Amino acid sequence: MAKDRPDPELDRELSDLPPELRWREWMRRIEAVLFASAAPVAREDLARIVGQGASVDLLVEDLAADLEGRSFELAQVVSGWMFRTRAAYAPAIRAAADVSDQQLDLNEFDVAVLAAIAYHQPLTRDGLKDIFGREISRDLIGRLHTRGLIGTGPRSPRRGAPYTYVTTEQFLVAFDLASLEDLPEREQLEDSGMLASG
């Protein structure tokens, strides 16, 4: 996200401010950057806008506490942070705004294919066929790719070197996961009825 070299006009240290106002200003800078960004912002990028001795993690914690009770929250996704509307306000947003182009519009099978890729990545189409017992259409793979939920992984090491598929950062954002480690365990899915046991 950030430029390679720092902006010479940006006073990162803010040494002319008292410590409590300096901290508040650094929080507001982080807030402004997150507000302006459509994608998660990495710690390294946020470190470019605060003073040398400032802890980005502590600033983000204080900003999250500052936002408590608001309609949006600060969420950690992958290796960065982003603003996200709290789930409780989803019905109000759908009622008042046209967000149809932002909805995933996935059916149950689409989600099952995504889950298979997430749990077994990198995975080929043949690997998906083994899991589901049927051919997975190129159209479905294309739709998931177009929505940014999957990407092309490393080529398979077998003859013909077929493409493999992996989940993306957008997948993590869409399903509210900080990392793939946050995927539910198989037993949880079986207990919830979302996955057949055995």
**Are 110 and 80 in the same domain?**
no
Average pLDDT of 17-24?
A: 94
- Beta strands, E only, 57-182: 72-77, 80-85, 150-152, 165-167
With 70 as the cut, is the pLDDT of residue 198 above it?
no
By the 8 A CB rule, do 138 and 144 touch? no
With 90 as the cut, is the pLDDT of residue 64 above it?
yes
**Are 127 and 182 in the same domain?**
yes
- Beta strands, E only, 156-198: 165-167
By the 8 A CB rule, do 150 and 110 touch? no
8 occurs within a structural domain: no
With 70 as the cut, is the pLDDT of residue 108 above it?
yes
144 occurs within a structural domain: yes
With 90 as the cut, is the pLDDT of residue 161 above it?
no
Give pLDDT, residue 151. 93
The total of structural domains in the chain comes to 2
